[in-house]
């Protein structure tokens, strides 16, 4: 089985401050990889490296390599194409100040798609995938920013799906939404797994346990351990710190 | 151990000394701030009221649409009024695009570097340069070096240089008011910086940008120093009622300079005329400012987040 993403020797510094200290691991196709760890452990930075949006942070320097389908992402000429291959959902829901329809149609349009029937089809499919369609289908013209937090987060997910990504990265998506909505989105993710690879950064250890096939534990910019979720959450993971974190002894 | 602390119902809600003091200070402070606000408004009302009262005898549409007569002792304001419009419009046509686009570059594209630091420093300092200094620069750069002579163009360019830093600063403020998270969301969707700016940043800051630009109208219209050496003349008769009576390579009259001239240089001016000139100048500026206020209210009601 070929790896979807191969990360080797990845180091990131913000100025002099290290964020990731030489991390190496692989992501398998169609898996949900849970990424857990306390704040400041480099989880968000990792996602920003993968879709190269870290380039918008001027003081950040990156060493090491990230390969998507065996191709080094630094050698991909069209960085916008790379970002469309990777869906990104940020911690706080961000409805763009556009209509619900335009929110979801944003990425296809920036990629050059103009035909109305195709856009309609994408908008409906993505909103349905994100379990939002039934709530908003009668008011696609109203502002995305006027939706509730949980709806906006599902809108964000629909938007991330609109450019048909191969990898979906979720950065603590449930931080600002209620448990019921969280459970609905978790169900969505399980369905999406058949179509794409999912990187799930989460502060909720139990969420990783529920969803992830494998789990990686980060601490202070180091990858402490990566293994199947069963092992990570068992009585004897390879590293004592993993056990302590997962069981709430620290962090 | 003392367990018999008693709170009787009668004394529980009576005011303590500290409570009285707090209430007193609260009242004093509220009145203090109210007085300060009044101090700001009263002079404005007095000025406008006094001007209107004194100008009433001369104010009429004819006053606005006829040239000054009898060595500016009588007649109307047409030449200086149209001159001011020319100066303001031409200067904004130059300053607004340059200022807005420069601000977009500085805020949306430029990375922190010595170049942006120097540019920002220049913007801040240029905004504080006295207008007479801009006037001297205008004489040197536009009238003499660029060979434009004393003309509407030279005067407008001088005004443009003067308003540019403020337009850059106000545009930057408007752009900064668009949350960073919107830009990040767009970038994550594979949008270029330009697509992000065109679809999200500009549509959500355009009203703030326009407000900042419009506010510069009043500054450009009111300034005397930058134009008196670069293109404004004491007297010039033009075709009455013709909006295209001026040529931008020629000199023009201007309301601000006209007011200065008839108040200090010309003897025996009809009493109402200087006041009428002031009313027209202040009135035009207030009208333009009112437009920007309406614009701002309109934006607030349809704010999208």
What value of ipTM does the predicted structure carry? 0.88
Please tell me the distance in Å from B213's CA to the nearest CA on chain A: 24
Q: Is the pLDDT of residue B300 over 80?
A: no
What is the spatial distance between Cα B282 and Cα B218, in angstroms, rounded to a whole number? 9
Closest partner residue to B188 among A83, A95, A143, by Cβ? A83
Closest partner residue to B305 among A97, A106, A111, by Cβ? A97
Task: Using alpha carbons, select from A53, A49, A142 the residue that is nearest to residue A95.
Answer: A142
**Residue tagged 């190269």 (tokens):** A52
Please tell me the distance in Å from A58's CA to the nearest CA on chain B: 7
The residue among B190, B207, B301 with the most chain A CBs within 10 A of its CB, best to mutate, is B190
Please tell me the distance in Å from B109's CA to the nearest CA on chain A: 10
**pLDDT band (50, 70, 90) for residue B65:** confident
Interchain pair A83, B189: CB under 8 A = yes
pLDDT for B227 equals 92
Q: Taking CB atoms and an 8 Å cut-off, how many pairs form between chains A and B?
A: 68
What value does the mean pLDDT of chain B take?
Answer: 88
What is the spatial distance between Cα B230 and Cα B21, in angstroms, rounded to a whole number? 61
Residues 6+ apart with CB under 8 A from B239: B245
Give contacts of B187 with chain A, Cβ < 8 Å.
53, 56, 83
Interchain pair B305, A51: CB under 8 A = no
Lowest mean pLDDT among B5-19, B152-166, B174-188, B200-214: B5-19
Interchain pair A96, B191: CB under 8 A = no
Task: Using alpha carbons, select from B210, B278, B220 the residue that is nearest to residue B49.
Answer: B278
Please tell me the distance in Å from B96's CA to the nearest CA on chain A: 26
Q: Is the pLDDT of residue B11 over 80?
A: no
Chain A residue with Cα closest to B109: A56
Lowest mean pLDDT among B32-46, B60-74, B150-164: B60-74
pLDDT for B60 equals 86
Give contacts of B189 with chain A, Cβ < 8 Å.
83-84, 106-107, 110, 159-160, 162-163
Task: Using alpha carbons, select from B173, B175, B208 the residue that is nearest to residue B193.
Answer: B175
Q: What is the DSSP string of chain A?
A: ---SEEEEEEEEEETTEEEEEEEEEEE-TT-EEEEE--TTSSHHHHHHHHTTGGGGSTTEEEEEEEEETTEEGGG-S-HHHHHHHEEEE-SS----SSBHHHHHHHHHHHTT---HHHHHHHHHHHHHHTT-HHHHTT-TTSBGGGS-HHHHHHHHHHHHHTT--SEEEEESTTTTS-HHHHHHHHHHHHHHTTTSEEEEE-S-HHHHHHH-SEEEEEETTEEEEEEEHHHHTSS--SSHHHHHHHTTS--
Specify the CATH number of the domain B76-301: 1.10.3720.10
pLDDT for B8 equals 67
Domains of chain A listed by start with CATH number: 5-92+166-246 (3.40.50.300)
**pLDDT band (50, 70, 90) for residue B303:** low
Interchain pair B189, A107: CB under 8 A = yes
State the average pLDDT over residues B111-121: 88
Interchain pair B188, A84: CB under 8 A = no
Q: Backbone phi, then psi, for B157, in 5-degree steps?
A: -65, -40
Closest partner residue to B305 among A82, A110, A145, by Cβ? A145
Domain locations in chain B? 76-301
* pLDDT tens track for B99-108: 999 999 999 9
Q: Is the pLDDT of residue B247 over 60?
A: yes
Q: Is the pLDDT of residue B30 over 60?
A: yes
Residues on chain A bordering chain B, Cβ-to-Cβ distance under 8 angstroms: 51, 53, 56, 58, 80-84, 88, 90, 92, 94-98, 106-107, 110-111, 143, 145, 156, 159-160, 162-163
Q: Is the pLDDT of residue B2 over 60?
A: no
Residues 6+ apart with CB under 8 A from B249: B148, B149, B151, B152, B153
| β-pairing verdict for A197-201 and A60-68 | unpaired
Please tell me the distance in Å from B104's CA to the nearest CA on chain A: 16
Give contacts of A97 with chain B, Cβ < 8 Å.
182, 200, 203-204, 304-305
Please tell me the distance in Å from B193's CA to the nearest CA on chain A: 10
Q: pLDDT of chain A along its 251 residues, tens only?
A: 688 999 999 999 998 999 999 999 999 999 999 999 988 889 999 999 999 999 888 889 999 999 999 899 989 888 999 999 999 998 888 889 999 999 999 999 999 888 999 999 999 999 998 889 999 999 999 988 889 888 999 999 999 999 999 999 999 988 888 888 889 889 989 999 999 999 999 988 899 999 999 999 999 999 999 999 999 998 888 888 899 998 887 75
Closest partner residue to A145 among B184, B203, B304, by Cβ? B304
């Amino acid at each position: 089985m070929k790896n979807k993403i191969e990360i080797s020797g990845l180091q990131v510094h913000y100025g002099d401050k290290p964020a990731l200290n030489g991390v190496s691991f692989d992501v398998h196709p169609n898996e949900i990889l849970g990424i857990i760890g306390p704040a400041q452990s480099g989880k968000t930075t990792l996602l920003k490296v993968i879709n190269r949006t870290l380039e918008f942070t001027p003081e950040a320097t990156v060493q090491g390599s990230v390969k998507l389908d065996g191709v080094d992402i630094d050698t991909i000429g069209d960085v916008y194409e790379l970002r469309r291959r990777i869906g990104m959902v940020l911690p706080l829901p961000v409805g763009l100040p556009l209509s619900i329809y335009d929110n979801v149609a944003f990425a296809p349009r920036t990629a050059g798609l103009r035909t109305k029937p195709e856009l309609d089809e994408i908008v409906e499919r993505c909103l349905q995938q994100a379990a939002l369609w039934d709530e908003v289908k009668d008011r696609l013209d109203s502002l995305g920013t006027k939706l509730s937090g949980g709806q906006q987060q599902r809108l964000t997910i629909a938007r991330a799906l609109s450019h048909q990504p191969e990898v979906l990265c979720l950065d603590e998506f449930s931080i600002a939404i209620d448990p019921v909505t969280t459970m609905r989105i978790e169900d969505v993710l399980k369905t999406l797994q058949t179509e794409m690879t999912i990187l799930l950064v989460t502060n909720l250890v139990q969420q990783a346990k529920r969803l992830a096939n494998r789990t990686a534990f980060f601490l202070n910019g180091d990858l402490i351990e990566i293994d199947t979720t069963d092992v990570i959450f068992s009585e004897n993971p390879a590293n004592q710190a993993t056990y302590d974190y997962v069981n709430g002894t620290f962090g | 151990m003392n367990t018999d602390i008693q709170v009787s119902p009668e004394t529980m809600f009576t005011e303590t000394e500290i409570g009285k003091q707090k209430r007193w200070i609260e009242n004093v402070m509220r009145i203090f701030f109210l007085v300060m606000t009044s101090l700001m408004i009263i002079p404005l009302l007095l000025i406008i009221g006094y001007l209107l009262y004194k100008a009433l005898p001369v104010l009429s549409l004819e006053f606005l649409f006829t040239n000054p007569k009898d060595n500016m002792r009588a007649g109307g304001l047409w030449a200086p009024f149209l001159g001011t419009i020319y100066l303001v419009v031409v200067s904004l046509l130059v300053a607004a695009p340059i200022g807005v686009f420069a601000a977009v570059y500085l805020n949306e594209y430029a990375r922190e570097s010595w170049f942006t630091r120097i540019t920002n420093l220049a913007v801040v300092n240029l905004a504080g340069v006295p207008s007479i200094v801009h006037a001297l620069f205008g004489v040197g750069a536009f009238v003499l070096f660029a060979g434009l002579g004393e003309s509407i163009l030279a005067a407008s360019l001088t005004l443009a240089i003067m308003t540019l830093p403020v337009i850059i600063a106000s545009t930057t403020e408007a752009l900064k008011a668009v949350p960073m998270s919107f830009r990040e969301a767009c970038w994550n969707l594979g949008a270029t910086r330009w697509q992000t700016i065109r679809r999200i940043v500009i549509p959500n800051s355009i009203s703030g940008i326009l407000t900042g630009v419009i506010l510069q109208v009043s500054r450009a219209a009111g300034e005397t120093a930058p134009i008196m050496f670069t293109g404004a003349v004491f007297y010039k008769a033009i075709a009455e009622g013709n909006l295209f009576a001026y040529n931008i390579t020629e000199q023009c009259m201007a309301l601000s300079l006209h007011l200065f001239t008839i108040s200090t240089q010309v003897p025996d001016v009809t009493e109402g005329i200087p006041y009428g000139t002031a009313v027209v100048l202040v009135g035009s500026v207030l009208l333009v400012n009112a437009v920007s206020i309406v614009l701002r209210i309109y934006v607030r009601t349809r704010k999208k987040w």
